[in-house]
Structure 1
């Protein structure tokens, strides 16, 4: 064995560098550092997860010649394909159709079979990539379903590898650990290890608009997910590998913020990261600006930009999807709210159905949010009240909280109309939140009325209530 060489490529996993950001963070009180996980052999942090998954599977009887099957956004598949090549396995990967062609081609380069499924279906739909992967695992003899969303070997990999590595590299010299929220392995595993070493460490997740996590953490309710473009983070269901209790806070970013920051990291910092890394840094900058404290933030850059050349780094694709140039557009949620100028009306879950009906009639509204202890506890609409009263399931004296619905999504006053339209296509209404406070509610008819007026609103006097 040559001096300085390693036995095989798998021994090259880990020991990725941590780099300070300098130009994209100008004007911030905080210092932001990034861990370059895209420098792993397979191009992402999923090398750590995949190697641990396969090791555990081998301990449980997986033999060379078997087939590894997984539902993946591409990165886990790439890492499993690398390991399968070295260890002697075949691979079948199931991916949603929003993933880049580079990811699909990468997997096929390793000899893997790739099955592409529709993105815009529910997680439990038999056509979803989760369900198709399960079916293939049941149908394929001598196969191993990696199941990263529910396999405890996922967070274990980061508890055993990522967390200790960060601790060795930094000696705990940082205040906040931030990462994008996908399967939850990184935050749950590395976060758990680091929290044991650093009890005062703040752990913050970054979630894309459209994912379930942000609304659930902020409101405790499961709202309507909707589609988004950034790959590798966000979910439309709750993986058991995600321990939300580890979080101290959560930040939300939209596709445009993710992609523009991804490009800035390359052009201003020389860091060729992928979209989820751009999301994590955009979230970290937003969080640092909000806190305005002298502290050190460590951000996880999960994968690299080479897999996104046809999308994020393609000007035509960025333009076609409205991400490249800032355009006047149709306005924002704040503009819609400004056309109504009526106060926000809420109720407590313990209020009776009778009291809420009186409120709806008096205020001339059709639905209202339920607030308990300063947190959103759901929404109730006149159609829900009618259904329960007609069926006799509830009476006028029943607590209205028992009728609360989750058919809503949350937005901010600065959410663009184009995104609001997508939200309201999937949800009955949009709850407007500023930080952790509910400041308004926007319905389909509110948006229709705004657009019917030609998108005109007294923007200089915009108010946060509808």
Structure 2
């Protein structure tokens, strides 16, 4: 039957492009957001999860209906995608997450049956860093290590799906693409897909405070400054393998600080009815910056990574924001 898909695995992808009215009107451009929060696991990371698990199946390391375990270190969303995809085919998931991530994501992982392992936040070079812990756990359990940061199946999933969808949905009229990077899989995969079809399309990395990727793009060396309340994006010390392989396709990078990110999160929710998380707000702020640089009449596409409900205790908590010297909108102040 037309329009019927097969479970979680069939429901990932083919998300709509949403015209962002206020951003478009402010710049004279068409600014479009890929509604990745509409994936069944609620985020763009569902695509990476499927790409990684499909690659493991193709290599015979996981077999549907047979016992299998997948281990991953994640800020939360990739773990959610992996856990749901694993549930659908009878596998166990062990998800290692820094304990500083939002309560909502941690509760969701527990709710969907993931074996959640919380670890203190550590630098990437520390053996206690969540990625390093997940690698050791996979070795100890004899399990598949998803390794989203350096597993090429991550970027390949976006090259095969997200990029071509954007091209088709815009009828090829896309002038720039921008998004933030955690693993770099989304940016790398979409960049390869779009540049193969239109070499002149502009690819811009959006970076939060505390991340060194902007300097990596501009100078080749990461240099982290400042901080951010965003989760799952930015890298302080190195470019992950997925991103590094696409270095020659990235035309520029822009820094978006938390106040600009929050402005877009709150405006999208209250003015356009689009409820998204911090990384999506940062992406929209970056798309506006790129659109203004290009001038009126262009089309800029970005990623609406996930929904706001996963950050209620942070982004929508006035005490949390005020404690970090960040602005709160009038409607939030009125609500207490």
Do the structures match in fold with TM over 0.5?
yes
After TM superposition, the structure 1 = structure 2 runs for residues 251-270 of structure 1, keeping only pairs within 5 Å, are 251-270=254-273
| Partner-residue secondary structure (3-state), 1:211 | coil
Cα distance, 1:4 vs structure 2: 5.1
Aligned to 1:322: 325
Cα distance, 1:160 vs structure 2: 1.0
Is 1:190 the equivalent of 2:193? no
Aligned to 2:169: 169
Tell me if structure 1 keeps the 8 A contact 2:179–2:283. yes
Q: Which deviations, in whole Å up to 9, do the C-alpha atoms of 1:4-54 show, x marking residues without a partner?
A: 543312211111111111124443232211110110001011111111111
Match of 1:110 among 100, 103, 112: 112
After TM superposition, the structure 1 = structure 2 runs for residues 165-314 of structure 1, keeping only pairs within 5 Å, are 165-224=165-224, 227-236=227-236, 237-242=238-243, 243-314=246-317
- Unpaired runs of 5+ residues, structure 2, are 330-336
| Partner-residue secondary structure (3-state), 1:53 | helix
Q: Which deviations, in whole Å up to 9, do the C-alpha atoms of 1:304-340 show, x marking residues without a partner?
A: 11211111122222222221249xxxxxxxxxxxxxx
Aligned counterparts of 1:292 and 1:4: Cα–Cα separation in 2: 39
Aligned counterparts of 1:221 and 1:52: Cα–Cα separation in 2: 29
After TM superposition, the structure 1 = structure 2 runs for residues 411-426 of structure 1, keeping only pairs within 5 Å, are none
Cα distance, 1:134 vs structure 2: 1.1
Aligned counterparts of 2:99 and 2:228: Cα–Cα separation in 1: 12
Relative to total residues, which structure has the larger helix share, 1 or 2?
2
Aligned counterparts of 1:147 and 1:73: Cα–Cα separation in 2: 13
> Greater relative contact order: 1 or 2 (C-alpha under 8 angstroms, separation 6 or more)?
2
Q: Which deviations, in whole Å up to 9, do the C-alpha atoms of 1:52-102 show, x marking residues without a partner?
A: 111111122223321110011111001001101101111111112331011
Aligned counterparts of 2:294 and 2:161: Cα–Cα separation in 1: 30
Aligned counterparts of 1:225 and 1:110: Cα–Cα separation in 2: 36
TM-score calculated relative to the size of structure 1: 0.66
**Residues 83 and 325 of structure 1, relative CA distance in 2, 3 Å threshold:** closer
**Residues 306 and 173 of structure 1, relative CA distance in 2, 3 Å threshold:** same
Aligned length: 323
Is 1:138 the equivalent of 2:126? no
Tell me if structure 2 keeps the 8 A contact 1:187–1:246. no
Aligned counterparts of 2:266 and 2:309: Cα–Cα separation in 1: 12
Aligned counterparts of 2:316 and 2:296: Cα–Cα separation in 1: 33
Q: Which deviations, in whole Å up to 9, do the C-alpha atoms of 1:362-396 show, x marking residues without a partner?
A: xxxxxxxxxxxxxxxxxxxxxxxxxxxxxxxxxxx
Tell me if structure 2 keeps the 8 A contact 1:24–1:264. no
Cα distance, 1:227 vs structure 2: 4.4
After TM superposition, the structure 1 = structure 2 runs for residues 427-466 of structure 1, keeping only pairs within 5 Å, are none
Q: Which deviations, in whole Å up to 9, do the C-alpha atoms of 1:257-305 show, x marking residues without a partner?
A: 2223112111111111111000000111123234434311111111111
**Residues 281 and 224 of structure 1, relative CA distance in 2, 3 Å threshold:** closer
**Residues 286 and 4 of structure 1, relative CA distance in 2, 3 Å threshold:** closer
Tell me if structure 2 keeps the 8 A contact 1:18–1:36. yes
Cα distance, 1:223 vs structure 2: 2.3
Tell me if structure 1 keeps the 8 A contact 2:216–2:239. no
Which structure has the larger Rg? 1
**Residues 3 and 165 of structure 1, relative CA distance in 2, 3 Å threshold:** closer
Tell me if structure 2 keeps the 8 A contact 1:24–1:265. no
Is 1:124 the equivalent of 2:131? no
Cα distance, 1:113 vs structure 2: 1.5
Aligned to 1:52: 51
Tell me if structure 2 keeps the 8 A contact 1:21–1:32. yes
Aligned counterparts of 1:229 and 1:292: Cα–Cα separation in 2: 30
| Partner-residue secondary structure (3-state), 1:241 | helix
Aligned counterparts of 1:296 and 1:128: Cα–Cα separation in 2: 39
TM-score calculated relative to the size of structure 2: 0.91
Tell me if structure 2 keeps the 8 A contact 1:53–1:154. yes
- Unpaired runs of 5+ residues, structure 1, are 327-466
Aligned counterparts of 1:108 and 1:195: Cα–Cα separation in 2: 40
Tell me if structure 1 keeps the 8 A contact 2:214–2:222. no
Aligned to 1:155: 155
